[in-house]
Amino acid sequence: MKSIALSFLFVILIYFQAAAQFSSISIVKKNHACSEADSIGICKHEYMKYSNESVMAIKRADFAKAERKIHRAISKANNSNVEMDTLYYLNAQILAAKGEYINADEMISRMQVNVGDFSLYNAGIYALKIGLYEKAINCFVEQLAATRILSHECHWGIGYALLQCGQYEEAQVEMLAALKIHDNPNVRLGLVEIYMHENKIDEATQQLKSVVMKDPSNRLARFYLISMLLNQKKLLCTTELLSFLILDNSYEAMITKGNLLYRSGKYISAEDFYKRALNLSDSRIDAKIGLGNVCLARNKNDEAENIFLKIISEDSTNQYALEGLGVVNYRKSNFSSALYNFKMAELLGKGFKLSYDALLYEGSIYLHHYDFKNAYICFNLAIRRSNNNGWAHAGIGFCLINGRNFLYSKVLIRKAKKEFTIALRCDKKNPVLLNYIGIAEYGAHLYKDAIKHFEMAINKGASDTTALNALAMAYCKVGQFDKAREIMALVCKMAPTNFGFWNNSAIVESDYLNHVLENDPEANIEEALKKMDKFYDIALTMKTDTAVILNNKGVGYFLAHRYDTARSIYNTITTADTMVRAAIINNIGVVFATTGNLDMGKTNFQNANTIDANDDLSVIDINIDLANQNLFSLAPWKEKKYYYILFYYLPSIPFAPQFNNEMNVPLVKANIASPNEVPEVFRYNYHCNEHVSYKVKVCRSPKQKKIRLTPVDACSH
């Protein structure tokens, strides 16, 4: 939105500069014919010739030449008794452009703008146009005191001067006073500029809507209303105004309508308008970018690639084309090239920001490389780009659940559940999201809720091993071991080389052992123990995550009350990453504490806590607290249940974000083809009988430091 504000201010400023430099001065003046005296020998056209040449020199910023032409025009004017106000005004423009504000002020004071009762108003307009804002305010205030005929214009003039000096609250008061007298579109545009400075987007949008509804031909208001609505993703609101928005056949109109239709999902119609824009100007890139994005939305990746490559061949720094090419490369699984394209687009600067879709793709690439930190950053940025950001929240949730510590961190579990819940609101029937929220509920020990979402995911089409694997583990946690075994057998048959599934099959058996022994310590568990051993041994043959599987096997023997065997298995693990080493030492501490050696248990817990410097495995802190309580508790040590750490293999679905058609589309700045398209605010004259007095803070000009309060008459109706 900030970029819209800046471009809006730029267009407004350019308009008033253009009005000053190119338009005839809309002030009542006396017309003088050229002197007919033969002795003078000068005709009015000579005076006009030098005047026009000075104006052209000013437009080219050739001030030296402009001054020479003005001096010649003055000499001709003196000889022919021609009106001098225009020459003084042009000279004041040059002096102001050179920063000589005092001299410019003095030049304006020499003007004979004394026609009727409008002399002060005319002087204010001249001062306003060349940037002498304090003088302009003084003139408008004095004009208000002299007559109420031009009250509308004077309030607007004061408001515009205050706006240029950054005094937005005071400017708003004046603009609203002018608006009460007459509903003028330029006054509303002034309010839009004020609201944009104050980041009041809704108020600015409302003012633009009012202008467009009353005058659909106002291109300035029309284009900026379109841009603001598109950036706010208010497509429905934009569609409702469609009949008012595009009334001409200009390039900008074709692009704007194409962008609107593209964002609304009407790709064939959007393509038609982009092509019509190209017919008007095939040298401009906006329409080509639009066509490329339409091809992407329609999954015509080869066509999109050709368009973006052609743009890049003409302009290697075009960020929109680089982003589009990155999406194409992602879809073709060329992840390294896609990431390069996205990074190049971001690094080129100029205020460009990757779109929602591109950030999703970039984040998913990082996920493929297990770079959860950068993936998390991408998904967070994506959330700021779109109102429909379910998949960005899903990406954050995916980052959270993919760490081995997920099931042992209450903070991560809570965050993941929140993210997947938000994502599910945007796409309630998506099986991938249903599966993810089930995993978050599993981590929060809400196993029945997890089963419900896993089964919903399977019913919606998630028939692969990931959903089935998660469902089996949830059934295991609610004591339905036969169902869990049946599903895990199917999963292992579908993916026999996936060591994670064999690991989980073994965990089902170890949980069963624990369940049986808790109800009957003398129960025969040999058959289940053999199954558990068999599954862990199969997983170990694949020589992947050996330390994790051995840790889990040790936990299995611990749950079977084979404490010595559990410790000996832990002691065979010689190489492991930091988190796994912390888990192993914690688990050794659990064996010691459970068998009555509380001091050794506490020592191991503290050692594990030292290794787990990031506090990823927060259950270690709980074990330390339990050990400390036992030192002062009368309860038997056997009644204390310490927490072991077991590593599960939950679904690790490759993140494939859906395309939401929110690729970047460059918004075309409105061009004012003719000054008549934005009506002059100065032409409206309204009389006000009733008025009240209040004070306005006069701005601080670059050359004058004083600030004073000046009485101003304002209309009360």
- Give the C-alpha separation, 207 to 49, whole Å: 43
- The answer to whether position 311 is within a domain reads no
Q: Is 711 helix (H, G, I), strand (E, B) or coil?
A: strand
- DSSP H helices, 460-497, are 465-477, 481-494
User: What's residue 81's pLDDT?
Assistant: 54
pLDDT value, residue 699: 41
Confidence at 405, pLDDT banded by 50, 70, 90 = low
Quote the pLDDT of residue 390.
85
CATH number of the CATH domain containing 491: 1.25.40.10
Indicate if the alpha-carbon torsion angle 440, 442, 443, 445 is positive or negative: positive
Distance (Å, whole) CA 257 – CA 286: 12
The answer for residues whose C-beta is within 8 angstroms of residue 418's C-beta and 6 or more apart is none
* Residue 360 within a domain: yes
Q: In the prediction, which pLDDT does 158 show?
A: 92
Which residue segment(s) compose the domain that 433 sits in? 356-495
Token pair belonging to 704: 């004058």
Q: pLDDT tens digits for 488-532? A: 999 898 888 888 889 999 999 999 988 888 888 888 888 889 999
Express each pLDDT in 216-233 by its tens digit.
Answer: 777 677 777 776 776 665
Q: CA neighbours within 13 Å on the CB side: how many for 188?
A: 25
Q: Indicate whether 612 belongs to any domain.
A: no
Q: Which residues contact 628 (CB under 8 A, 6 or more apart)?
A: 602
Average pLDDT rounded to a whole number, residues 542-571 = 90
pLDDT band per the 50, 70, 90 thresholds, residue 589: very high
**Of residues 255 and 242, more confidently modeled:** 255
Query: Is the confidence at residue 309, as pLDDT, over 90?
Result: yes
Residue type, 518: E
Please check whether residue 187 lies inside any domain of the structure: no
CA distance 303 to 616: 47
Q: What is the pLDDT of residue 349?
A: 74
Closest CA relative to residue 192, chosen from 668, 665, 670, 666: 670
Domain assignment of residue 293, yes or no: no
* pLDDT at residue 584, rounded to an integer: 92
The structure's pTM equals: 0.58
Task: Choose the most confident range, by mean pLDDT, from 79-83, 332-336, 409-413.
Answer: 332-336
What string of DSSP letters covers 637-699? GGG--PPP------------PPP-S----PPPPP--S-GGGS--GGG--B--S-EEEEEEEPP
Assigned domain for 240 exists: no
HSE-CB for 90 with a 13 A CA cutoff: 33
Digit-coded pLDDT (tens) for 162-208: 988 888 889 999 999 988 888 888 888 888 888 887 878 888 888 88
Res 706: pLDDT: 36
pLDDT of residue 308: 95
pLDDT tens digits, 126-173: 788 777 888 889 888 888 888 777 788 889 889 988 988 888 889 999
Of all residues in the chain, the percent with pLDDT exceeding 90 is 20
* pLDDT computed for residue 80 by the predictor: 52
The arithmetic mean of pLDDT across residues 94-110, rounded, is 70
Amino acid type, 450: A
3-class SS string, 233-282: CCHHHHHHCHHHHCCCCCHHHHHHHHHHHHHCCCHHHHHHHHHHHHHHCC
CB 188 within 8 A of CB 160: no
Asked if 58 contacts 66 with a C-beta cutoff of 8 angstroms, the reply is: yes
> Would you say residue 474 has pLDDT above 70?
yes
User: What's the rounded Cα separation, in Å, for the pair 344 and 288?
Assistant: 20
Task: Give the mean model confidence (pLDDT) for residues 96-113.
Answer: 67
Residues in CB range of 516: below 8 A, 6 or more apart: 523, 525, 528
DSSP string covering 67-120: HHHHHHHHHHHHHHT---HHHHHHHHHHHHHTT-HHHHHHHHHT----STT-HH
What average pLDDT is seen over the chain? 76
CB neighbours (10 Å) of residue 693?
10
Distance, in Å, from the CA atom of 436 to the CA atom of 399, rounded to the nearest integer, reads 11
**In which band, very low, low, confident or very high, does the pLDDT at 704 lie, cut at 50, 70 and 90?**
very low
Decide: helix, strand or coil at residue 710.
Answer: strand
- CA dihedral (199, 201, 207, 208) positive or negative: positive
Handedness of CA 79, 80, 85, 91 (dihedral sign): negative
- Give a yes or no: residue 453 inside a domain: yes
Cα–Cα distance between 361 and 657 in angstroms, integer? 7
pLDDT of residue 18: 35
Helix (H) or strand (E) holding 447: helix 447-459
| pLDDT, position 5 | 40
Asked if pLDDT for residue 366 goes beyond 60, the answer is: yes
Helix (H, G, I), strand (E, B) or coil at 57: helix
Report d(CA 109, CA 123) in Å as an integer. Answer: 8
Sign of CA dihedral 132, 133, 134, 137: positive
CA dist., res. 227 & res. 256, Å (int): 8
In a domain, 213, yes or no: no
Confidence (pLDDT) at 480: 94
- Alpha-carbon dihedral sign for residues 367, 371, 372, 375: negative
Q: Which amino acid is at 296?
A: L
- Percent of the chain residues topping a pLDDT of 70: 74
Give residue-wise pLDDT tens across range 667-684.
665 443 332 333 332 222
Q: 3-class SS at 560?
A: coil
Count the domains in the chain: 1
